[in-house]
Amino acid sequence: MKVEQAERSTQMAITTTYQPPVFMDALPIKQVEKNNQQPRWALKNSSPLTFPATSPVALVEVPISPSLLSPASTSKEGVVSALQMKFSVLLEQDLFSLPDSKLLAAIDPWMGVRYRRGGTSQQGIDCSAFTASVLSTYAGIRLPRTCSEQFQQCQKVDKGEIQIGDLLFFRTRGRSVSHVGIYLGNNKFVHASSSNGVMVSSRNEPYFSSRFVGARRVPMATVSESAFE
């Protein structure tokens, strides 16, 4: 009897179809409170934002080819994409707290690109060219070329009022501002690191917290809430 039961159990195990474990079903992302998940200067159907023409600082735009944007970077409204999953891990945030996926899509092609002082391409890029390129691709915003010029031209933000999309500035050498990154929430920012290229770091890391100078926000006119996506 025991032998028959053992044979029957073995036969059932062989004939049972194997079902691989499901990692995660697609989760709907509700577009409620979307204003809190994207920069305050991200306007819907707006013309490119620029600084006043009277500014003595030369403005440059570092474009990025649309072909560099991965197909995984775009998804239907309300569906979690591979891009969102990737940045959920990098930023240690839940899916509902992530920045606007369009901002993430502008950042993603640069991830891992090596640092090169004065560089503006996929072969190498520096911190200020990186921030200028991302904001240009994302919202048509043109920033001054250098880190110190960006610091001077953007609006000061109190430490307790820093929002996604604000620029974080650091003093990594000498007494002047010498490094910049884009704040993405949860104390994380993305930047072109001289040692590791474009990457996500925490502003709470001792190296950055001890060298933090301040945050700045791209200027924008007062607009209605309907201007935001």
Active-site amino acid positions: 127, 179, 191
Q: List CB contacts of 18: < 8 A, sequence separation 6 or more.
A: none
- Whole-angstrom Cα distance, residue 107 to residue 100? 11
111: tokens are: 């991830």
Element (H, E) at 185: strand 179-185
81 within 8 A of 28, measured Cβ to Cβ: no
- Whole-angstrom Cα distance, residue 168 to residue 166? 7
SS3 94: coil
- Whole-angstrom Cα distance, residue 179 to residue 176? 9
32: tokens are: 């409620």
- CB burial of 171-198 (b: ≥16 within 10 Å; e: otherwise) equals ebeeeebbbbbbbbbebbbbbbbbeebb
59 within 8 A of 51, measured Cβ to Cβ: yes
Closest to 41 (Cα-Cα) out of 141, 149, 130, 132? 141
One-letter amino acid of 1: M
Matching residue, tokens 């048509």: 140
